[in-house]
Structure formats: C-alpha cells, structure tokens
Structure 1
Amino acid sequence: MADTIYFELIAPDKRLLSADVSEAVLPGQEGDLSAQAGRGFLILKLRPGILTTRAKDGEKQFFLRGGFADVGPDKATVLAEFAIPLEDLTGAILADEIAQAEQSLDEAKDDARKISSWDRLERLQTLKARLAL
C-alpha cells in the first residue's frame, strides 16, 4: 500500500494493533491529529477519546483513556494508559472511567491537578453523550 505509515497501539497489557495504515487520527490533548506518511517528528500527549485508523482493509476504532504518541514520517506508536476496541466499550466501562475522573477531581490538591481532572471528566462525559452509552 503506497503512502502508508507503520502504526502500533500498545496498552499496558497487550499490543492491540500493529499494521500499515494510510492514516491514524489521534485524540491529542490540544485537538485531533492525523498521523500520515511523511509527517514530521512529534511527541503528543493524548486525552480520553477515540483513536481511528484507516487502512486498505477498512477502519478500526479504539477507546483510549490517554497516553502518549510518538509520530514520525514512516512510523507512529501510541502508548495508551488504557485502550480497548470501540466495539467493546460498554456503558459500564465508560461509567467507571467517569467515576475515576470524578474521584481524581475530588482528590486534586492543587489547581493544575484540578484543571487536568476536570478536563478529563468533561471529555469523558462528552464522549458518553456522543456515543449514547
């Protein structure tokens, strides 16, 4: 497949995807980013959201809690805090993620942690509404 990038999605417990893709849309902390062949080098902090890959054999989507991405011109690697295929995401899993975010917000000791926890909570609640789970 011409104009592809080698993409890996790695969760703490397993490698979820290793494939040549035409594009990987990453949920970056500052907004979505498309990793494609020829892109410059970039390290990106990820937010809770949906990661989408597009390849010759179709599209795959995953829910991410967050993590980091290392993107280059011919390879992109995502190290996720937690990741599962989107079709495996249930209302119960998302409710648990929201509960964890609420707990983090309640336990935050300084403004930076409060802002980060609030942002995570808001993104998860928006995702829940968008997916109608």
Structure 2
Amino acid sequence: MAEPFSFELVSPERLVLSEACLSVVVPGMDGFFTVLKDHSPVIASIAPGVLEAEMEDGSKRDIYVRGGFADVAASGLKVLVEQALPIEDLDHDKVAKLITDAEEDVADAQSDDIRNEAELRLARLQKLQSAVSK
C-alpha cells in the first residue's frame, strides 16, 4: 500500500489544497506523471488538464489546473498554478456558454494577434469542458 506524503496545490488567489496524499497524477507538458512518496526530485511544467489526488483516507479530488509547475522534493509535492478549479465546483452549462463566446471571439477577430489569443482561450475552455464532462 502507498504511503502518504505532503501535497500542496497553490494558485495566485489561495492555497487550494494542503493535505497528505497517497498519490497525485499531474498533467505535465510531456504527459501525465504520477507522484508517490519518495519520488525522485523533479520540476515539471504543468499542462492544462485535470490533476487527480488520492487522499490519505482513500477519497479522490479532481482539480482542473492551468499553467505553472510541479516541484517534487524529499519534503513532498508542491504544485503552483495560474488557475485551479475543483471539478465538483464547475457548471457544465456555464463552461458551454464560455466556449460559445470564445468561438464568436475567434470568428470576429480583427487581427492575427487577437485571433491567436481567442483560439488559445477556446482551446483551454475545451479542455476544461472535457474535464467537466467526465
């Protein structure tokens, strides 16, 4: 059985989670990776996606994360992100409306820079929608 380790998830607004975990699956830029107690030290960039934490009591927490990095050290795992949204707090209809708005922004873009920014926002929202739909 896995042993617990220290895990912190931090966004600019708040400390999202600070608990002992048995495992954490992190969406890295090079793919997902799982952190267990005594994982080798590593620093990795975070990709938009769902971070899956298995808590010490066996419960699971799924959190959509975007931007930032994960720091695995002997003391545990710290994940600092631009955005962290617990999946259970997300409203599918609200995300769908945001996607519709973003699609309109892409269609209405007057320059390549504005279009690129709108397409990036749309791609992030689509990843968020797929996380909410699971």
Q: Please tell me the TM-score bracket, short chain as reference.
A: 0.7 to 0.9
Question: 2:18 corresponds to which residue?
Answer: 18
User: Structure 1 length as normaliser, TM-score?
Assistant: 0.74
Query: Deviation string for 1:1-55 (max 9, x for gaps)?
Result: 9622100000111101101101011111111111111111111111111111102
Asked if structure 2 preserves the Cα contact closer than 8 Å seen for 1:64 and 1:83, the reply is: yes
SS of corresponding position for 1:22: strand
Identity percentage of aligned residues: 33
Inter-CA distance 69–118: structure 2 relative to 1 (3 Å threshold) = farther
Inter-CA distance 127–13: structure 2 relative to 1 (3 Å threshold) = closer
Q: Distance in 2 between matches of 1:26 and 1:119?
A: 21
Gaps of 5+ in 2: none
Asked if structure 2 preserves the Cα contact closer than 8 Å seen for 1:50 and 1:63, the reply is: yes
Gaps of 5+ in 1: 109-113
RMSD, aligned CA: 3.4
Q: Count residues with an aligned counterpart.
A: 126
Q: Distance in 1 between matches of 2:64 and 2:121?
A: 14
User: Structure 2 length as normaliser, TM-score?
Assistant: 0.73
Question: 2:37 corresponds to which residue?
Answer: 37
Inter-CA distance 81–121: structure 2 relative to 1 (3 Å threshold) = same
Name the aligned partner's letter for residue 107 of structure 1: D
Inter-CA distance 73–64: structure 2 relative to 1 (3 Å threshold) = same
